[in-house]
Amino acid sequence: MQKDSVQQKPLRHRGSFLNDPRIVPYVLVAPFIIFFLVVYLYPLIMTIIMSFQKIDGPNHREFIGLKNYLKLDTRDFRLALQTSGRYAFWDLIVLTLVPLVIACILHSGLAKGSAFFKSLFFIPSLTSIIVAGIVFRLAFGTLETATMNRVMIALGQKPIKWLSYADSGNFVLILLTLWRWNGVNIVYYLSGLQSIPTDYYEAAQIDGANAIQKFTHVTLPGIRPVLIYVITITVLGGFSMFTESVALWQQNNAGGVGRTIVGYMYMVGFKKNNFGLASAVGLTLLALVVAVNLIQLVLMGFFKKED
Amino acid sequence: MASNRIEGKKRAVLSILATALMVLFAIFAMVPFAFMFMSSLKPGAEMMRYGLTLKFDPGISSFQNYTALNTYRDGVYWHWYKSSAIIMVMQTAIGLFFSSLVGYGLAMYQFKGRNLVFSLVLIVMMLPFEILLLPMYQLMISMKLMNTYFGAVVPYLVPPFMIFFFRQYCLGIPKELMEAGRIDGCTDYGIFWRIMVPILIPAFGAMTILSCMNSWNNLLWPLIVMQDEKKFTIPIGMGTTITPYGNAYDVLMPGAVMAVVPIIVIYLFAQKTFIAGLTAGSVKG
C-alpha cells in the first residue's frame, strides 16, 4: 500500500529542486556558462581595455587612447601580417582542396584498399607539430647535406636556404600543415560524403549527368555544411597559426622570417612585457578573422534561409 | 556490349590512377616517421655530418640513444613525459564530463535561453583563443595557478568544440528514451548516466582520442603556464633541445619517437570506434 502511494506522487516533485525537469537543463549547461564568463568574456573585455592602456607593472595602468593601435604601423608587425596572410591564403587553398579530392576518391571506392588508406592518412594528425616539425626542419635545412638539398642537387638544381626566405619558408610551412592536418579534413569530408543519399547519384545518372556534373550538382551541395565548417576553421587556424612556425624557426628567427601575428603578439607581450600593444595586436587578429570569415560565410550562402 | 567494355576499361585505368595517387599520399604521410625512426638509431655526430638519411648502417645503428633519454639533463625527458600524461588525463576526463553534459542538455531539452547558449558555443568556437592569452595569464597569476597542472588545463575545461559534437550526436537519440526512464523512476541525471552514457560510448571514444591528441600536442598555453623545467610538457621540452649552439640530436630523435608512439598505439587500438564515432556525429549543418 505504502509503496503505491509513493509512486503516485507527481513525478515532477520527486527529490530536490535540482531534479525539477525545468531546472535540469540549466544545471546541465551551467558549466559552460561559468566557463564562458571566466575563460572567454572576462579575458575578452580585459583585452579590449588593455589595448587602450599603457601598462607598467601590475599596479600602474594609464589610458592612452589609440596610441597602441597607432604603434602597430611598424615593419615587424607588417611582416607578421604578411607572413600570416600568405600562410592563411595557401592554407585555405591547399587544406580545403587536397583533402576533398582524397576523400572523394576514398568514398568512390575507385582506389583499392580505401579502408587502409583512411586510417593511415590520419596517423600524422596524432603527432605533435613541434616533434614532427623537427624532421621537416632538418630535411629543409640550410646545409647541402640537408635531405631536400640533396634532392635538389640530384635534380641538377642549386641548393636552397629553404627557411631563410619568406616564400620558400611558407612552402615548407604549408607542406608541414598539409602533412599534419590532411587526415583530419579527410575525416570531416568523408562524414559529409556519407550523409548524401545514394539515390541522388542514381537520379543524376538517369538524367544523363556526367561525373563532373554529378560532382557540382550532387556532391558539392551535399557536403556544403561540412565545407563551410572546414573553411571556417581553416581561416581561423590560418590567421592564428603559431605552433607550426615555432616548429620550423623556434622563437628567434633572424629578420622575422616566419614570425606570425600570434608569434609577434607573444614576443611583444611575454618577451617585451608590453601588454597594451600585445592586446592591440590580438584584437587586430580577431577583427581579421571575423571579417574574413563573415565574407566567406556570406559568399557560401550560410546566412541564406533554406527553402 | 562494346561500350560496356570501354566503360570497364576506363574504370580500370581510373582505378589504377586513383590507387597510385593514394599510395603517393600514403608515402608522404609515412616518410617523416621513417626518417624519425632511422635517425633515432644513429649517433648525434652522424646526424650533424650527414643530415637526415634513411640509410641503415648496422655498424653504428643501435638503440643506444634511447638510454640517453634517462641521462640527458638528469632524465628530465621523463619528467616532461609525466607532465604531458597528467595534463592529458586531466584535460580529457574533465573536458569529456562537462562537454557531454552541456551538449546533451542543449540537444534534449527545450528551455528559455537555449538558442542563446548554443550561439555562444558557436561564437566561441570561431574565436582565436590566442588573443585571450594575456588576461588569462594575469588571471592564472592572481589565482595562484601558475606552474600547476590545473592551470595548464583551465582553458580546456569545457571545450566548445566537444559541446558542439555531443549536441550533434545527441540530436540523433530518440527523446522517448528519456520518457521511458522517467516512468521507471530515474532522475534526469540518472537517465543521462544509466541510459545515455552507454549510447554515447562511440562519441566518448572519438572525443577521447581527439582530446588526448590536442592535449599531448598542445604548445602555447602550457608554454605560458609551466615555468619549472621539470613541469614542461614534451612539446615545450623538445623545443629546448634545439638551441642556437647546436641541437642535442642524441635525445631529439629518440625523444620524438617515444613521444609519438603511445598516441599511435591508442589510435591503432581504437581507430574503428574513432572514425565511426567521428563521422556519425559530425557536422551536419
pLDDT tens figures, A183-207: 989 988 988 888 888 888 889 988 8
- The fourth-level CATH superfamily of domain A73-299 is MetI-like (1.10.3720.10)
pLDDT-derived band at A14, boundaries 50, 70, 90: low
The neighbour count for residue A125, using CB atoms within 10 Å, is: 22
ipTM of the complex model: 0.88
Q: How far is B149 from chain A (nearest CA, A)?
A: 17
Query: Quick one: pLDDT at residue A137?
Result: 87
pLDDT-derived band at A306, boundaries 50, 70, 90: low
Q: What percent of chain B shows pLDDT beyond 90?
A: 45
Cβ of A128 within 8 Å of Cβ of B21? The answer is: no
Pick the residue of B131, B210, B217 with the most A CBs within 10 A to test the interface with A by mutation. Answer: B131
pLDDT at A307 over 80: no
DSSP string of A95-148?
HHHHHHHHHHHHHHT-STTHHHHHHHHHGGGGS-HHHHHHHHHHHT-SSTTSHH
- B264 contacts on A by Cβ (under 8 Å): 123, 126-127
In chain A, residues 94-153 whose CB comes closer than 8 Å to chain B: 102, 105-106, 108, 110-114, 117-132, 134-139, 141, 143, 145-147, 150
Q: Within chain A, which residue ranges are assigned CATH 1.10.3720.10? A: 73-299
pTM, entire model: 0.88
Distance (Å) of CA B132 to CA A40, A259, B90, B155: 7, 19, 22, 10
pLDDT in tens, A94-127: 999 999 999 999 998 888 888 889 889 999 998 8
Q: How many CB pairs under 8 A join A and B?
A: 273
Highest mean pLDDT among A92-101, A264-273, A288-297, B39-48 belongs to A92-101
Query: Quick one: pLDDT at residue B245?
Result: 67
pLDDT at A147 over 90: no
- B22 contacts on A by Cβ (under 8 Å): 102, 105-106, 111, 113-114, 117
Pick the residue of A16, A32, A252 with the most B CBs within 10 A to test the interface with B by mutation. Answer: A32
In chain A, residues 210-269 whose CB comes closer than 8 Å to chain B: 225-226, 229, 232, 236, 239-240, 242-243, 246, 250, 252, 262, 265-266, 269
Cβ of B105 within 8 Å of Cβ of A243? The answer is: no
pLDDT at A29 over 50: yes
A36 touching B (Cβ < 8 Å): yes
Query: Quick one: pLDDT at residue B85?
Result: 94
Find, in chain A, the residue whose alpha carbon is nearest to that of B254. A131
pLDDT-derived band at B2, boundaries 50, 70, 90: low
Q: How far is A282 from chain B (nearest CA, A)?
A: 5
**Cα-Cα end-to-end distance for chain B:** 44
- B157 contacts on A by Cβ (under 8 Å): 31, 35, 39
Cβ of B278 within 8 Å of Cβ of A26? The answer is: no
pLDDT at B111 over 90: yes
Mean of all residue pLDDT scores within chain B: 87
Question: Helix A275-299 to helix A42-50 angle, to the nearest 10 degrees?
Answer: 120
- Do A278 and A268 meet the contact criterion of CB atoms below 8 Å apart? yes
- Do A261 and A284 meet the contact criterion of CB atoms below 8 Å apart? yes
Distance (Å) of CA B193 to CA B97, B106, B204: 11, 16, 13
pLDDT, average across residues B27-32: 94
Q: Closest Cα to residue B215, out of B259, B258, B255? A: B259
pLDDT-derived band at A253, boundaries 50, 70, 90: low
Higher per-residue pLDDT: A12 or B220: B220
- A8 contacts on B by Cβ (under 8 Å): none
pLDDT at A6 over 50: no
Cβ of A246 within 8 Å of Cβ of B219? The answer is: yes
pLDDT, average across residues A217-230: 89
What sign results for the dihedral spanned by CA atoms B185, B187, B188, B192?
negative
Cβ of A188 within 8 Å of Cβ of B283? The answer is: yes
Distance (Å) of CA A1 to CA A5, A11, B61: 7, 18, 81
pLDDT, average across residues B97-101: 96
- Do B15 and A112 meet the contact criterion of CB atoms below 8 Å apart? yes
In chain B, residues 5-34 whose CB comes closer than 8 Å to chain A: 11, 14-15, 18-19, 21-22, 25-26, 28-30, 32-33
- Three-state DSSP class for residue A191: helix
- A286 contacts on B by Cβ (under 8 Å): 127-128, 131
pLDDT at A275 over 70: yes
- Three-state DSSP class for residue A182: helix
Query: How far apart are the C-alpha atoms of A77 and A108, rounded to whole Å?
Result: 46
Task: List the grid coordinates of B284.
Answer: 551536419
Phi, psi of A17 (to 5 degrees): -55, -40
Distance (Å) of CA A124 to CA A87, A176, B32: 20, 10, 9
Query: Quick one: pLDDT at residue A252?
Result: 61
Cβ of B256 within 8 Å of Cβ of A147? The answer is: no
Distance (Å) of CA A35 to CA A50, B8, B146, B210, B211: 21, 58, 18, 20, 18
Distance (Å) of CA A58 to CA A39, A50, B138, B144, B197: 20, 12, 9, 15, 46
- Which of B101, B131, B239 is closest, CB to CB, to A246? B239
pLDDT in tens, A46-79: 999 999 999 877 678 888 889 999 989 899 999 9
Triad B260, A117, A92: Cα angle to 5° = 80
Q: How far is A268 from chain B (nearest CA, A)?
A: 11
- Half-sphere exposure at residue B53, Cβ-oriented, CA atoms within 13 angstroms: 16
Residue B185, Ramachandran bin (φ over 0: left; ψ between -120 and 50: alpha; else beta)? left
pLDDT-derived band at A305, boundaries 50, 70, 90: low
Task: List the grid coordinates of A72.
Answer: 602597430
Q: How far is B193 from chain A (nearest CA, A)?
A: 13
The neighbour count for residue B9, using CB atoms within 10 Å, is: 10
Phi, psi of B204 (to 5 degrees): -60, -40
Query: How far apart are the C-alpha atoms of B257 and A20, rounded to whole Å?
Result: 52
Spacing of C-alpha B2 from chain mean position: 52
Cβ of A32 within 8 Å of Cβ of B267? The answer is: no
pLDDT in tens, B225-260: 999 999 999 999 988 887 766 677 778 888 989 988
Cβ of A24 within 8 Å of Cβ of B188? The answer is: yes
Amino acid letter, residue A46? M
Pick the residue of A138, A235, A277 with the most B CBs within 10 A to test the interface with B by mutation. Answer: A138
- A132 contacts on B by Cβ (under 8 Å): 32, 36, 256, 260
Query: How far apart are the C-alpha atoms of B112 and B17, rounded to whole Å?
Result: 55
Higher per-residue pLDDT: A248 or A3: A248
Q: Do β-strands B242-243 and A61-63 pair in parallel, antiparallel, or remain unpaired?
A: unpaired
pLDDT-derived band at A83, boundaries 50, 70, 90: very high
Task: List the grid coordinates of A14.
Answer: 520527486
- Do B281 and B168 meet the contact criterion of CB atoms below 8 Å apart? yes
Cβ of A262 within 8 Å of Cβ of B130? The answer is: yes
Query: How far apart are the C-alpha atoms of B50 and A150, rounded to whole Å?
Result: 10
- Which of A111, A128, A187 is closest, CB to CB, to B18? A111
Q: How far is A156 from chain B (nearest CA, A)?
A: 20
Query: Quick one: pLDDT at residue A173?
Result: 95
- Which of B33, B102, B127 is closest, CB to CB, to A40? B127
Query: How far apart are the C-alpha atoms of A151 and A144, rounded to whole Å?
Result: 10
Query: Quick one: pLDDT at residue A119?
Result: 87
DSSP tag of A14: S
Query: How far apart are the C-alpha atoms of A41 and A35, rounded to whole Å?
Result: 9
Cβ of A26 within 8 Å of Cβ of B234? The answer is: no
Query: Quick one: pLDDT at residue A48?
Result: 95
